[in-house]
């Protein structure tokens, strides 16, 4: 295992998630579970369903402010849901995480009358399904399926000199990442787990030809003609890798009304054993009261196959980091993990 790439990456944040629906028939059970804070113990059987929804809004208004600065408006929606089925011999876990956020820096209009637009600052869609059969009380052999993408186009950084943003550099399913693996899931406690797979297929999809021709997100770029010019439409939209995968997760209330959830994913392609893809997400949720929550989210990403900006000239792979701090309305529903 090569941890050299881990040191190249710092946190990147955006642990944001979206809710699942629950029927009216479940409402009484939801209230009961929230009020009693039922924990999911190893011996529990049947379905467990729950999650949370959070919204954050920030507004800064400045007029004739001598110290300087910019007005801003930001809004985000974060949600997460889970559905877990257990019997004596098997566990089927399903998770949905989603988020979306937008921001506008500066006044609603520029001095020349041009409208100052809102830009996306958060966008995430993540689905995970894991099926395990018991070997021992703490060890399962497991099959895992995961899909990650985003909802809306993403654009090159805003240029204050021109008041515009560049071409979009990402889109729905551009990229999208899939993972299919077989391995072993070890859970020494209810809040800590280790999943190791020596048989993992990783798939990268760039379902937009312009981005595929640029070689964005690690796919093979467009072929060139005799003069070295790229031939439009020849970039590959699909890339496969085969290797080993390790995922470590910790999810626990570390003090009263404060939950820490962190997950580290490592993937190494068997063709390039000296390079390890890293994804490390951490979320701290602090409950102020029944409906108000403060949260801190960080995420660290390093992937040697991904250039940071898929435009010309390319920027070499480097650490991607994001953090999100928020205080807003939050609602938890269903069972507790």
Q: Which pLDDT tens digit goes with each residue over 100-128?
A: 999 888 878 777 777 888 888 889 999 99
Q: pLDDT (tens digit, 9 = 90+) per residue, 149-184?
A: 999 988 876 565 555 556 788 999 999 999 999 999
pLDDT value at position 37? Answer: 42
More confident residue, 16 or 279: 279
Q: What are the structure tokens assigned to 79, written together?
A: 């949600």
Alpha helices in the chain (DSSP H): 4-8, 27-36, 209-213
Does 11 have pLDDT greater than 60? no
278 DSSP β-pair partners: 266, 302
The pLDDT score that the predictor gives to residue 3 is 38
Give residues with Cβ within 8 angstroms of 160, minimum separation 6: none
Is residue 122 within 8 A of residue 97, CB to CB? The reply is no
Q: Do residues 184 and 142 lie in contact, with contact meaning Cβ atoms separated by under 8 Å?
A: yes
- Those residues whose C-beta lies under 8 Å from the C-beta of residue 232, and which sit 6 or more positions away, are 209, 213, 222
pTM (2 d.p.) = 0.77
Three-state secondary structure call for residue 157 = coil
How far is the C-alpha of 56 from the C-alpha of 122, rounded, in Å?
12
Closest-CA residue to 55 (of 147, 152, 127, 122): 122
Residues paired with 324 in a beta bridge:
297
| pLDDT tens track for 264-314 | 999 999 999 989 999 999 999 898 888 888 888 899 999 887 776 544 444
> What average pLDDT does the segment 19-32 reach?
36
Do residues 296 and 284 lie in contact, with contact meaning Cβ atoms separated by under 8 Å?
yes
Tell me: the pLDDT tens digits for 217-258? 989 999 998 888 999 999 999 999 999 999 999 999 899 889
**Do residues 328 and 292 lie in contact, with contact meaning Cβ atoms separated by under 8 Å?**
yes
Q: Are the CB atoms for 79 and 333 separated by under 8 Å?
A: no
- Residue carrying structure tokens 């021109």: 162
CA quadruple 8, 14, 19, 20: dihedral, nearest 10: -20
* Cβ–Cβ < 8 Å for 245, 200: yes
Instruction: Please tell me what DSSP assigns to residue 25.
Output: G
**Residue 186: what pLDDT?**
96
For residue 57, the model assigns a pLDDT of: 83
**Tokens at 155, concatenated:** 């654009």
Going by C-beta distance under 8 Å and a sequence separation of 6 or more, which residues neighbour residue 255? none
Q: What is the pLDDT of residue 107?
A: 78
- Asked if 139 and 185 count as a contact pair (C-beta separation under 8 A), the reply is yes
Residue 16 has pLDDT above 50, yes or no: no
Q: Are strands 164-165 and 158-159 parallel, antiparallel or unpaired?
A: antiparallel
Burial category of 236 from C-beta neighbours within 10 Å (exposed 0-12, middle 13-18, buried 19 and up) = middle
Instruction: Indicate whether 19 pLDDT > 50.
Output: no
Rounded to whole angstroms, the Cα distance separating 217 from 176 reads 9
């Amino acid at each position: 295992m090569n941890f050299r790439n881990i040191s190249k990456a710092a946190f990147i944040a955006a642990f944001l998630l979206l809710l699942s629906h629950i029927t009216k028939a479940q409402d009484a059970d939801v209230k009961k579970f929230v009020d009693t804070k039922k924990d999911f113990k190893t011996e529990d059987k049947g379905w467990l369903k729950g999650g949370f929804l959070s919204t954050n809004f920030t507004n800064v208004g400045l007029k004739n402010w001598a110290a300087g600065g910019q007005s801003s408006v930001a809004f985000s929606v974060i949600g997460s849901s889970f559905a877990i089925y257990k019997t004596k011999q098997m566990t089927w876990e399903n998770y949905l995480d989603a988020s979306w956020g937008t921001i506008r820096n500066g006044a609603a209009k520029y001095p020349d009358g041009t409208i100052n637009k809102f830009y996306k600052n958060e966008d995430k869609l993540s689905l995970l399904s894991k099926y395990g059969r018991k070997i021992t009380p703490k060890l399962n052999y497991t099959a895992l399926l995961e899909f990650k993408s985003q909802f809306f186009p993403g654009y090159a950084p805003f240029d204050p000199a021109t008041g515009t943003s560049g071409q979009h550099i990402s889109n729905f399913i551009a990229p999208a990442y899939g993972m299919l693996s077989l391995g072993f899931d070890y859970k020494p406690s209810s809040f800590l787990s280790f999943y190791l797979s020596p048989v993992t297929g990783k798939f990268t999809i760039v379902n937009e030809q312009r981005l595929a021709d640029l070689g964005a997100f690690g796919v093979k770029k467009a072929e060139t003609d005799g003069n070295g010019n790229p031939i439009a439409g020849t970039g590959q939209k699909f890339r496969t890798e085969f290797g080993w995968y390790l995922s470590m997760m910790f999810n626990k209330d570390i003090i009263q009304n404060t939950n820490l959830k962190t997950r580290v994913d490592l993937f190494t392609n068997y063709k390039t054993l000296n390079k390890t893809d890293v994804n490390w997400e951490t979320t701290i949720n602090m409950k102020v009261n029944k409906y108000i929550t403060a949260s801190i989210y960080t995420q660290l990403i390093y992937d040697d196959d991904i250039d940071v900006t898929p435009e010309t000239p390319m920027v070499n792979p480097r650490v991607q980091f994001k953090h999100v701090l928020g205080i807003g309305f939050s609602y938890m529903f269903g069972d507790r993990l």
